[in-house]
Amino acid sequence: MRKTKKLTSVLLAVIMVFGVMTFVPLTVSAATYGDFEYTLEDDYTCTITKYNGNASDVTIPSTIYGNKVTKITGFDNTDVVNVVIPKGIKELNCSFASTGCFEGCQYLKSITLPNTLKKLSWNVFSGCSSLQSINIPNSVKYIEPYAFAGCSSLKNITLSKNIYEIDRRAFAGCSALDNITIPNSVKQIGGQAFTGCTNLTTVTFGSGLESIGDEIFGEHNYWDYCKNLENITVNKNNIFFSSSDGVLFNKNKTEIIWYPQGRKNTSYTVPKSVNAIYGDTFVNNPYLKEVTVYDNVKEFSDCSMGYMKSGWKYNKIEGFTIKGYKRTEAEKYARNNDFNFVALPRPVNPKSVSLSKNSVTLGVGESVTLTANIQPTNAVKTLSWSSSNKRVATVSKGKITAKKSGTAYISVKTSNGKIAQCKVKVKPAPTKVKITPKSVTLSVGEKYTISEKTNRGSYASATNLKWTSTNSEIANVTKSKGKKATITAKSVGKAYIKITLYNGKTAQCRVTVK
């Protein structure tokens, strides 16, 4: 009986041991390779987890005992100055969002990244306050939050041409950065991505950008706003955003996304395409003292202009003035915020518009400029020009250019829809021109009228003919009506009267004065 109990106790002990082994994993210390700690993954690749050396220049090994190194999850050495990461490394990862591989390496001045790297993870270089430049290889497609946060010496950044996202606060606190160009590949930029970039003056966004996070150039806790930002430009092929005079808009310019805080203009007129002003659009620009807002703006966010912001506190800019029409949202915003308001006279709408010519004939390649007469004279002068057939004739600000034989109608339209038209008939360009007569003999003081003629079917308007004399002291020439000119004999001798058409064709008449 005693033996049976003892055997049962042994069996239970064995079962308990196996139970513990089943549910409690064994803890294995990280392996070492020189000054590096690493782990061997299931696919026989290595992950470096720590550097225990004290060298200022460090080259990460590409293999450990024949196994490829593909990942770095920790470095934990703040004294390193220069680091070279070899080809083959795919990830600079971290165990938690709050800890980055090279985070806090305050003496790190340069790091070489391989073209096998896929992304830059959370906080990977945050706090590397001595890092001066970074060349992000084209293999990198994603920069995670805070990747370069607090890199206060980082002045030169070359971004991957294949990157599609820069996440929130990725470059927060990069106070030495003075300009940056966002590649066409970037589709998304997270909120406050450049907060604290206090020396940033110019930003260029590429054609692929689709979304921008809140307060991309704003402040956050201990990071200041981009106080020196003066100019924002957007690639003209971008279909979501645009820029004008350094200010960031959505594509159709119905919304101002960001007014640069370092733009030194003391006044600004909100474009008439804008219908709403949201968020901190104009906040933290100490130079801007006056904004003109017309009745196209139907909505203002609280404290969207006329304020300097510090944390959650908004302080009014002294003497800030809003100009606009009475009984509009602009006046309401000014009154509600106790700003100066200057009432502007409302514009007068045109009652009619007419053109300097109702019809015109041109040769191919010839141009003529029309002028528009708006009544009353103090009415809004905004005009739009169009052609019914751009293959025949085009128009730009009233200047018509003949393109091809045929007929087109040029229209001018006022801001309130009043229209005037000019019929344009286009004929072939002259291939030759002649003067009749080819020669003439005159006495001193005598006058004579000559005329020009182009080849049949062609045309050149009289306004584009140029008459000249080779010797105006013997005979000069003045333009007459139509295609005629008058020669005046001045003194004895010979001279040639020349005509030049708009397309360079010429002819001469010999003048002998006795």
Q: State the average pLDDT over residues 372-398.
A: 95
Where is the domain boundary, 346, 368, 383?
346
Residue 462 covered by a domain: yes
According to DSSP, the β-strands at 399-402 and 340-343 are unpaired
Same domain, 367 and 307: no
Residue 317 falls within a domain, yes or no?
Answer: yes
CATH of the domain at 404: 2.60.40.1080
Helix residue ranges per DSSP H, 351-502: none
Residue 11 is assigned to a structural domain of this protein:
no
Number of domains the chain contains: 3
More confident site: 55 or 3: 55
∠ CA 382-383-388, rounded to 5°: 165
- Which of 296 and 29 is assigned the larger pLDDT? 296
Average pLDDT, the chain: 90
Stretch 59-85: mean pLDDT: 92
Alpha-carbon torsion, ordered 265, 336, 280, 150, to 10 deg: 100
Instruction: Tell me, yes or no, whether 280 and 316 share the same domain.
Output: yes
Q: Which residues pair with 487 in a beta bridge?
A: 448, 477
Check residue 32 and give left, alpha or beta (phi > 0: left; psi -120 to 50: alpha).
beta
- Cα→Cα distances 213→166, 170, 188, 192, Å: 10, 12, 8, 7
Domain that holds residue 444: 433-513
Does some domain include residue 253? no
Using pLDDT thresholds of 50, 70 and 90, give the confidence band for residue 99. low
CA-CA distance, 36 to 243, in Å (whole number)?
50
292 and 357 housed in the same domain? no
- pLDDT tens-digit readout, 120-154: 999 999 999 999 999 999 999 999 999 999 999 99
Residues 299 and 318 in one domain: yes
Q: Which amino acid is at 126?
A: S
With helix as H, strand as E and coil as C, how does 380-409 read? CCCEEEEECCCCCEEEECCEEEECCCEEEE
The 10s digit of each residue's pLDDT in 321-377 is: 999 999 999 999 999 999 999 999 998 999 999 999 999 999 999 999 999 999 999
Indicate whether 269 and 333 sit together in one domain.
yes
If you write DSSP's letter for every residue of 11-38 in order, what string do you get? HHHHHHHHHHHHHSPPP-PPEEETTEEE
Q: Where are the beta strands (DSSP E) in 346-469?
A: 352-355, 359-363, 367-369, 372-375, 383-387, 393-396, 399-402, 406-414, 419-427, 433-436, 439-442, 447-454, 466-469
Residue 380, token pair as written in the block: 């809004």
Neighbours of 346 (CB within 10 A): 11
Joined together, the tokens standing for residue 34 give 């020189």
- pLDDT interval class at 27 (50, 70, 90): very low
For 207-226, what is the mean pLDDT? Answer: 88
d(CA 434, CA 449): 14
340/270 same-domain check: yes
Q: Is the pLDDT of residue 76 over 80?
A: no
If you average pLDDT over residues 414-419, what whole number do you get? 95
Contact partners, residue 459, CB within 8 Å, separation at least 6: 361, 362, 363, 366, 427, 428, 429, 430
Whether omega before 260 lies within 30 degrees of 0, making that bond cis, reads: no
**Which structure tokens are listed for 370?**
């029309």
Whole-model pTM above 0.85?
no
* Spatial separation of the C-alpha atoms in residues 370 and 358, rounded to whole Å: 9
Residue where one domain finishes, among candidates 290, 312, 346 = 346
Asked if residue 395 and residue 342 are part of one domain, the reply reads no
- Residue 310 is predicted with a pLDDT of 84
Residue 454 CB burial class (10 angstroms; 0-12, 13-18, ≥19):
buried
* Residue % of the chain over a pLDDT of 70: 93
Last residue of a domain, one of 384, 412, 427: 427
- Determine, yes or no, domain membership for 323: yes
pLDDT on residue 45: 94
pLDDT at 463: 83
Q: What are 423-446's pLDDT values in tens digits?
A: 999 999 999 999 999 999 999 999
Same domain, residue pair 316 and 362: no
* Residue 360 structure tokens: 């015109």
Kindly state the helix (H) or strand (E) to which residue 509 belongs, with its residue range: strand 506-513
The confidence band for 97, taking pLDDT boundaries of 50, 70 and 90, is: low
What is the rounded CA–CA span in Å between residue 123 and residue 145? Answer: 7
- pLDDT given at position 91: 86
Residue 192 has pLDDT above 90, yes or no: yes
Torsion of CA 293, 297, 301, 307, to 10 degrees: -10
Residue 147 covered by a domain:
no
In the chain, what percentage of residues exceed pLDDT 90?
A: 83
Within a domain: residue 460?
yes
* Alpha carbon distance, N-terminus to C-terminus of the chain: 160
Whether residue 379 sits in one domain with residue 339: no
- Examine residue 439 and state whether it is found in any structural domain, yes or no: yes
Q: Find the mean pLDDT for residues 181-185.
A: 97
11 pLDDT higher than 50: no
In contact, 151 and 128? CB cutoff 8 Å:
yes
Confidence category of residue 10, pLDDT binned at 50, 70, 90: very low
| Total H helices, total E strands in the chain | 2, 47
* pLDDT tens profile 446-505: 999 999 999 999 998 888 889 999 999 999 999 998 889 999 999 999 999 999 999 999
Q: Which amino acid is at 375?
A: Q
Long-range contacts of 463-468 (CB under 8 A, 24+ apart): 463/368, 464/366, 464/367, 464/368, 464/501, 464/502, 465/499, 465/500, 465/501, 465/502, 466/499, 466/500, 466/501, 467/497, 467/498, 467/499, 468/497, 468/498, 468/500
H/E element, 329: helix 329-336
Claim to verify: residue 405 and residue 444 sit in the same structural domain: no
